[in-house]
Structure formats: C-alpha cells, structure tokens
Chain A
Amino acid sequence: NAGVTQTPKFQVLKTGQSMTLQCAQDMNHEYMSWYRQDPGMGLRLIHYSVGAGITDQGEVPNGYNVSRSTTEDFPLRLLSAAPSQTSVYFCASSPAGTDYEQYFGPGTRLTVT
C-alpha cells in the first residue's frame, strides 16, 4: 500500500493564479480531510469528506474548494491564490467507524508570491 499520497511536493504560485493539490489514498478509507499548517498555529482543518459525493467545511475554508467523486481521491483547489495561503498542506484519511486514527500524506509546501 502506498498509503496517502500528495502531489506536488513543492509549488510556487503568483498571486491570482489557481491550482489543484492532489491527494489520493489506497486504503479504502471513507473519511478524508485537508489541513494547513502554519508556524506556531498547529494544523487547521480546511475541508473534509465523509464519503464520495459528500464534503463539508472545516475551520478555514475560504479560498478553497474540494470535491470527492471517488473514494480514493480528494483534490483541493485554490481558486485565486493569495500570499496568506502560503503554508504546508496535509491531506489525511481515516476509516469510518470507531477507528479514528488519521493517516497523513507527506504534505505539499506552497509559496504564493
């Protein structure tokens, strides 16, 4: 199993550009989430999904869109990048039911200039 994979590892965008961060998991997990990590602030939930076709907002959803057309994939779209979106982005997945452990991907370091 590859676990949770994310692409790209690094990305530099100019203000106003759009892009999609990719996330995939091969563990057949129902739940998937996106977090951003900023220095001194821990990880903050952007969007999450409890299954294909179902998504909801987390703590900091503004400026980001998600969709979940398959169990495996959960892409995060930045509509119009801003310097405030410079961060490290982590995707995570977990099984449904009572096993709550979240498995994190390796992260994408995004810089917006």
Chain B
Amino acid sequence: GENVEQHPSTLSVQEGDSAVIKCTYSDSASNYFPWYKQELGKRPQLIIDIRSNVGEKKDQRIAVTLNKTAKHFSLHITETQPEDSAVYFCAAAEYGNKLVFGAGTILRVKS
C-alpha cells in the first residue's frame, strides 16, 4: 500500500521568511496530493491540493509542487505570518476518499 513520509517534523521560521515542507510517496498509482492545516484542538482543513497532471499550483502565499518521476511533492509558504503557525499534513491517494497521510510538520512562525 501507499506510504507517505514527511519532513521536517518541526520547522521554525522568522515572520516574513519562507517555509518549505517536503513529502515523498511510494505508490506510483497515487494521483491526488492534498495539504491540510490543523490548528491546536481543531479539525484538519484543506489548504491546497494538486493532481498528477499538474506540476505546480499557487494560491496567494501558498504553492505546491509535484515531481511524479521522483515521487515527491512540496508545500511552499511565502511571507510567513504568526497565524500560519499550525501542524501541516501532506497526503496521497489514488482515489480522493482513501487518503494516506504523512506524520505532520509543526510550523512555528516567530514574530
């Protein structure tokens, strides 16, 4: 089955700097790669996703890149703000309802 590894497990950045979180997956059949943000005590919320027929997608300060050959995808957050502090999870799936998640990255934005 699918296996997703996520790095780093914790990431501290200064406000205004960029943050990059990387994930690798094992199943070449996976074609859907979402990123979720989870604040303390809250539910995960989708922030961006990408399909296998697209190499990059941007939404304001957030971008995701996908390299299907190397089986890795990354989340880029530019101009980080204190409210970006949260746990971020990547996931992969062949079908949207069978997500396999990475272990998560705790992002701390220091002001």
Interface size of A by CB at 8 A reads 24
Partner of B98, one of A41, A42, A45: A45
A107 touches B98 (CB 8 A): no
Assembly CA distance A106 to B89 (angstroms)? 17
Given contacts A31-B97, A48-B98, A58-B98, contact A102 B46 (CB under 8 A): yes
> Digit string of A46-74 for contact with B (CB within 8 Å is 1, else 0)?
00101000000011000000000000000
List of B residues within 8 angstroms of A105 by Cβ? 43
List of A residues within 8 angstroms of B98 by Cβ? 33, 45, 48, 58
26 A-B residue pairs with CB within 8 Å: A31-B97, A32-B97, A33-B98, A33-B99, A35-B101, A42-B6, A42-B89, A42-B101, A43-B44, A43-B99, A45-B99, A45-B100, A50-B97, A59-B1, A99-B96, A100-B32, A100-B34, A100-B93, A100-B95, A100-B96, A100-B97, A101-B34, A101-B96, A102-B46, A105-B43, A106-B42
